[in-house]
Amino acid sequence: MRMSGIHMAKTPRIPARSTAKAMKTLVDSAREGRLALPMKTVAAEEGMDPDELLRRIAAGSVVIMQRKNRCTGIGTGLRTKINVNLGTSSGKVSLSDELKKAEIAEKFGADTISDLSMGGDIDAIRRDILAFTTLPVTTVPIYHAVVECGLETMTAESCLPTLKHQAGPGNDSVCLTRATQNTLAAAAHA
């Protein structure tokens, strides 16, 4: 099944820190016209012309999430994906329950997982979920920031360390609402 007409917001690119050689992203490769292996893999899985997929990645209407030799294409013109939400709460913290949910998600064909944990040692729980599953995992940094800072006292500046931490190695993607992106951008330019 194909979906068309979905509008995917373009997220501004965050420049790499001053390193000797910045790592190229799939978007970089697509914009240079280079078809990388994950693009070929997703094109084959989706039954899409590889050059068309390359154009969509370059335009920002398709992304490819990669995890443990698995590539999952998400966006305009690709099949609808199934995401499973899991995570602890302040009322119930059970790592074994969350790992069981991840196992069931994989067994029944989910494409991605979102870890929405807000209780317990959130970093340790996320590390264990990431180590356990082969599915791409998305996190929601604002949830963790609320736990750390409190909703009433949270500011854009207090969220940034959590966002940077969750955008680091190991995590596959983060979820930010447009309002959160705008607030963080305004704080960065203040």
Q: What span, in angstroms and rounded, lies between the C-alpha atoms of 2 and 178? A: 25
Q: Residue 18: is its pLDDT beyond 80?
A: no
Q: Helices (DSSP H) in 22-173: which residue ranges?
A: 26-31, 37-46, 50-59, 95-107, 122-132, 141-149, 156-166
Residue 22: pLDDT band with limits 50, 70, 90 = low
Total domains present in the chain: 2
Residues 126 and 76 in one domain: no
CA atoms within 13 A on the CB side of 47: 3
Q: Among the three residues 35, 52, 81, which one is the final residue of a domain in this structure? A: 81
Residues 149 and 183 in one domain: yes
What angle in degrees, to the nearest 10, is found between the helix axes of 50-59 and 37-46? 110
- Round the CA-based radius of gyration of the chain to a whole number and report it: 18
pLDDT of residue 1: 30
Residues 77 and 91 in one domain: no
Residues 125 and 166 in one domain: yes
pLDDT of residue 21: 56
Residues 120 and 98 in one domain: yes
**b/e per residue 134-158 (b: at least 16 CB within 10 A):** ebbbbbbbbbbbbbebeeeeeebee
Residues 95 and 160 in one domain: yes
Residues 88 and 67 in one domain: no
Q: Among the three residues 36, 62, 81, which one is the final residue of a domain in this structure? A: 81
Q: What is the CATH number of the domain that holds 170?
A: 3.40.50
Q: What span, in angstroms and rounded, lies between the C-alpha atoms of 88 and 4? A: 34
Residues 67 and 113 in one domain: no
Which sign does the torsion angle of CA 53, 57, 62, 64 carry?
Answer: positive
Q: Residue 184: is its pLDDT beyond 80?
A: no
- Give the pLDDT mean for 61-83: 94
Residues 168 and 90 in one domain: yes
Residue 4: pLDDT band with limits 50, 70, 90 = very low
What are residue 45's phi and psi, to 5 degrees?
Answer: -65, -35
Residues 13 and 100 in one domain: no
pLDDT of residue 101: 98
The reported pTM is 0.80
Structural domain range at position 132: 83-188
Q: What span, in angstroms and rounded, lies between the C-alpha atoms of 130 and 120? A: 16
Q: What span, in angstroms and rounded, lies between the C-alpha atoms of 100 and 113? A: 13
Q: Among the three residues 29, 63, 81, which one is the final residue of a domain in this structure? A: 81
